[in-house]
Structure 1
């Protein structure tokens, strides 16, 4: 991968477009079924193409090609207009596939020239973790809003620098926590917040997978910052915080890596960590890089249990509620609306740009996770609990919630 060039001072950019009047384009259809039958959601009614927020995608790896670019087909408010890659041949092919002009293709050396492309309003950074800070800062200096993949960065200092750069440039910064926009996980959150089954007492969360034995960047500490914890364990941490709205005030952790496994010479394999919350809730979380796929959580409340299995996959999520309203145990499985999680998060960012709102998962949300992960590593190293600052406000690091249509 070519070495990115240093940041340069940004030139003035065009004024942001005003929010379009979508009502004038809405199409309504008469019902096909009787009122007693299931009803369709109706046409998606996306914005006119020229009114959608233009995104530049930086990095053409697996996530971008398999998930993000296809997701734009489901977006109502966003469209891809530019690509940034170190592989010009691959980028040329992808640009043709998605109707992106050759003038919208950039290398890492010419990244800063995005400032001169008025079609680009948001830069979506999909690079190795160690590159998030640099490209966020350079992107903000180029006058663009930033949507950055998680983990936000490799250190608290980098996260703080990213937030400061975006604030200085007057640009929005959102971290791509897709779970917080996914309907079933949001339903689970609402059940928790409404105390549908009384007070929550405990949470169990697990996210592990058996990674390929290759020389991928995720096994290099300089690029990844860590192993399973910042990559997949972050889902357990962030989703638990999302469900409760609370912030943990203590962590206790243990780390183990299989001796002789080349994948774990630099980064950790398994992490088990406990989060203790001010309300008394204890969350037991586990993550790993060398065991069979498991992505689930369970919320144990006074009169019922909320389970998500799978909880963190890109599709096929399942929610189950267990309770005993009349003394008989009942299991309920709400229908999955099967909305594209990446389209939901991308559209939320686009709406925040058009309506000048703070993203629901801003840089401060990513910074808080980084602080907690550093405490988890500290706890495992010292083999003792680590205290965290008490945060009394609920959802202290979140912005404007997604709209109902999302």
Structure 2
């Protein structure tokens, strides 16, 4: 197992506070305008459980399709070739995928590998001239994230982060209501993100592959949600860590972190990230005129929502289907999403995560400059 992890890491690394500025009209997604005469042709890198979920969801996509695969496991490639009718020339391993540069049947690569591999793989995909879609977190720290943004900018390709909730109907409706002033002056936000993790030998509990623990995997939802629900960028953070099982959650793998984010307007967010408690998937936004709650807030759905005006519970569309359709429009048509999903926005989450870990270590407030 250790030799395989070293092999994967080796291959993968080869190579001012502002508001979001949403307008209510921009919150209305139009789904009847397909990107010209083609679909976005996507190669999936890393064929684990989430890649399977994405691929199955893309069967219902109007504007994107699975056109290639990249994996270090030959048996998985053989299975995917049959399931998705993928030709041999669109199948690669981690050693030779730079050759996609000469493949005109692949437009973008969706990186769905362990966190520590994202950086090196993104740089290689960008160098090959293909658009990058990368699962969250986009990297294990802000330095790597910045290098990914710069590499994609230099190559003239898009870098999008797999923030599926930013296309979800209930989430967008609450953001629309906030922008319309229906909650009044925002005062407080709560984000609870956690579950009890299972297999102690999985890569998510290996600091060399995960780059951390619960914060990188599930806590990032609370960070991300705070920003788009409040509609501001935080200017400071404080954080506290609790570890009850130092054997399972070894050095460099956080079990539970509570953290607070402060905003220039005076809003305070109180959040929790954990790998040791279930039933924690809730966002709560409170203002002087009303409130909004999402519970569950980030699960695969359906998402449940309630406001001071009553329940929303808008129709459920598979998140990954919606995400890939909208990302296809971003890449092929230059469409601007309601809530940003680009690498520069993902980099802000990494800066906050870096600051949270710093605050835990030094035991004091850390100022943010996003």
TM-score, normalised by the number of residues in structure 2: 0.89
Match among 39, 44, 47 for residue 57 of structure 1: 44
Contact 1:314 1:341 in 2 (8 A): yes
Contact 1:258 1:264 in 2 (8 A): no
Match among 191, 208, 218 for residue 205 of structure 1: 191
Distance 1:48 1:130, change over 3 A: closer
Match among 347, 363, 370 for residue 325 of structure 2: 347
Contact 2:64 2:324 in 1 (8 A): yes
Within 5 Å, give how 1:264-343 maps onto structure 2: 264-322=250-308, 332-343=310-321
Offset, 1:381: 1.1
Within 5 Å, give how 1:67-78 maps onto structure 2: 67-78=53-64
Match of 1:262, SS state, is coil
Match of 2:348, SS state, is helix
Contact 2:211 2:252 in 1 (8 A): no
> Is 1:364 paired with 2:344?
yes
Q: Distance in 2 between matches of 1:199 and 1:47?
A: 38
Structure 2 residues not aligned, in runs of 5+:
16-30
Offset, 1:45: 6.7
Distance 1:297 1:5, change over 3 A: closer
Q: What residue is the counterpart of 1:143 in the other structure?
A: 129
Contact 1:57 1:80 in 2 (8 A): yes
Give deviations 1:173-208, integer Å, cap 9, x for gaps. 111111111111111111222220211110111011
Q: What residue is the counterpart of 2:118 in the other structure?
A: 132
Distance 1:165 1:76, change over 3 A: same
Offset, 1:7: 5.3
Relative CO higher for 1 or 2, CA cutoff 8 Å, sep ≥ 6? 2
Match of 2:110, SS state, is strand
TM-score, normalised by the number of residues in structure 1: 0.81
Within 5 Å, give how 1:8-157 maps onto structure 2: 51-65=38-52, 67-157=53-143
Q: Distance in 1 between matches of 2:200 and 2:99?
A: 34
Distance 1:303 1:382, change over 3 A: same
Offset, 1:265: 4.3
Distance 1:45 1:283, change over 3 A: closer
Larger Rg: 1
Distance 1:6 1:282, change over 3 A: closer
Contact 1:193 1:244 in 2 (8 A): no
Contact 2:186 2:288 in 1 (8 A): yes
Offset, 1:134: 0.5
